[in-house]
């Protein structure tokens, strides 16, 4: 049983929750005082939605993954779990998400199908358009907005939070372009529309830099007058610089993992911590 549970957690890359869960909590803190009940429900809802999203991604891409040497050892192509089990994981995640949204508040429940639909549609988009990177960026923007709505129970969202959400869209689009560099040649051969596969690796690197420049600019605009948050701007700039410096010459799996996962997880945690400290100061 424990072996199966470990396989399921690996299947949905549960550790990647570190990217956006702090952002969801940041949205809740920006809204006001967050209760333990809401904090717990955000955790459950977010984990459920992310489980559904990743399971759908793996199910929809299973034939592509089987062709790609880098991904051929993933759970479905390698037969570590069955397709039926994968659907079970996806459905369980979706049910957990909807039930949690129901208990959060009415607005969260009514809007809950939107992120779920976006998560389901995303894997198909790279077959047709490079805009899939930006569509994926909606997921982390929704995490922030979802955290806000979980506390406030309204869609009347202030301009600062909307700017922050928009900045996060460009942040995730940028680091998704970096992640996709590993498969640029494969994508080109298979007719898949990652930026690297469609326009070339150097163009993808430059566009990722531009996206992160937009992210940083919007973040500064949103929080410039906030004393504690403003203090971390130089640190965020350094992390973004390192993210691109690491892959300047090579984009092998080890370097992409460092740039894509570790630095962005650290950046997400730092942004959350600064917002939390700003809230305590207030």
Question: How many Cα neighbours within 13 Å face the side chain of 225?
Answer: 3
Long-range residue pairs from 116-123, CB within 8 A, at least 24 positions apart, any chain: 116/49, 116/52, 118/142, 119/49, 119/52, 119/53, 119/56, 120/52, 120/53, 120/56, 122/53, 122/57, 123/56, 123/57, 123/60, 123/61
Residues near 49 by beta carbon (within 8 Å), at least 6 away in sequence:
93, 94, 97, 115, 116, 119
Does a structural domain hold residue 235? Answer: yes
pTM higher than the cut 0.75: yes
DSSP code at position 34: P
* CB crowding 115-154: b at 16 or more within 10 Å, else e: bbebbbebbebbeeebebbbbbbbbbbbbbbbbbbbbbee
Does a structural domain hold residue 198? Answer: yes
CA pseudo-torsion sign 128, 139, 199, 123: negative
Does a structural domain hold residue 1? Answer: no
Across residues 43-51, what is the average pLDDT? 95
Query: Would the pLDDT of 180 be above 80?
Result: yes
Across residues 32-47, what is the average pLDDT? 92
Residue 177 CA from chain centroid, whole number: 13
Say which residue, 274 or 282, is predicted with more confidence: 274
pLDDT at residue number 37: 95
Cα-based distances in Å from 41 to 25, 38, 105, 218: 11, 5, 10, 29
pLDDT at residue number 98: 97
Does a structural domain hold residue 282? Answer: no
pLDDT at residue number 45: 96
CATH number of the domain residue 182 falls in: 1.10.357.140
Does a structural domain hold residue 181? Answer: yes
Count of the separate structural domains present in the chain:
1
* CB crowding 100-109: b at 16 or more within 10 Å, else e: bbeebbebbe
Tens of pLDDT, residue by residue over 212-246, are 999 999 999 998 887 677 888 999 999 999 999 98
CA pseudo-torsion sign 45, 47, 51, 53: positive
Cα-based distances in Å from 117 to 47, 162, 180: 16, 21, 22
Taking the C-alpha atoms of residue 256 and residue 203, their distance in angstroms, rounded to an integer, is 17
Judged on CB neighbours under 10 Å (0-12, 13-18, 19+), 219 is buried
Taking the C-alpha atoms of residue 168 and residue 139, their distance in angstroms, rounded to an integer, is 9
Residue with tokens 């809204």: 31
Does a structural domain hold residue 145? Answer: yes
Does a structural domain hold residue 2? Answer: no
Tens of pLDDT, residue by residue over 117-126, are 999 999 999 9
Across residues 74-84, what is the average pLDDT? 90
CA nearest neighbour of 151 among 37, 228, 19, 17: 37
Q: With cut-offs at 50, 70 and 90, classify the pLDDT of residue 282.
A: low
Range of the domain at 113: 8-277
Taking the C-alpha atoms of residue 14 and residue 5, their distance in angstroms, rounded to an integer, is 11
For residues 211 and 179, is the Cβ–Cβ distance under 8 A?
no
């Amino acid at each position: 049983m424990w072996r199966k549970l470990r396989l399921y957690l690996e299947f949905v890359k549960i550790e990647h929750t570190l990217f956006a869960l702090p952002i969801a909590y940041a949205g809740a803190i920006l809204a006001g005082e967050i209760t333990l009940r809401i904090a717990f429900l955000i955790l459950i809802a977010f984990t459920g939605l992310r489980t559904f999203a990743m399971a759908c991604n793996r199910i929809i891409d299973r034939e592509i993954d089987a062709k790609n040497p880098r991904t051929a050892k993933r759970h479905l192509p390698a037969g570590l779990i069955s397709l039926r089990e994968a659907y079970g994981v996806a459905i369980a995640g979706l049910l957990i998400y909807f039930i949690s949204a129901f208990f959060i508040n009415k607005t969260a429940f009514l809007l809950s199908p939107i992120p779920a639909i976006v998560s389901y549609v995303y894997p198909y988009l790279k077959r047709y358009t490079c805009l899939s990177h930006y569509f994926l960026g909606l997921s982390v923007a929704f995490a922030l907005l979802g955290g806000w709505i979980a506390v406030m129970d309204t869609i009347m969202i202030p301009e600062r939070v909307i700017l922050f959400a928009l900045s996060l869209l460009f942040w995730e689009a940028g680091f998704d372009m970096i992640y996709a560099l590993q498969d640029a040649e494969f994508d080109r051969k298979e007719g898949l529309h990652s930026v690297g596969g469609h326009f070339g690796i150097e163009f993808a690197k430059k566009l990722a830099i531009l996206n992160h420049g937009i992210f940083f600019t919007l973040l500064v605009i949103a929080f410039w007058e906030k004393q504690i948050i403003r203090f971390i701007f130089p640190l965020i700039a350094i992390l973004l610089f390192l993210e691109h410096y690491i892959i300047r010459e090579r984009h092998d799996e080890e370097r992409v993992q460092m740039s894509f996962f570790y630095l962005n997880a650290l950046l997400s945690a730092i942004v959350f911590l600064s917002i939390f400290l700003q809230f305590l100061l207030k």
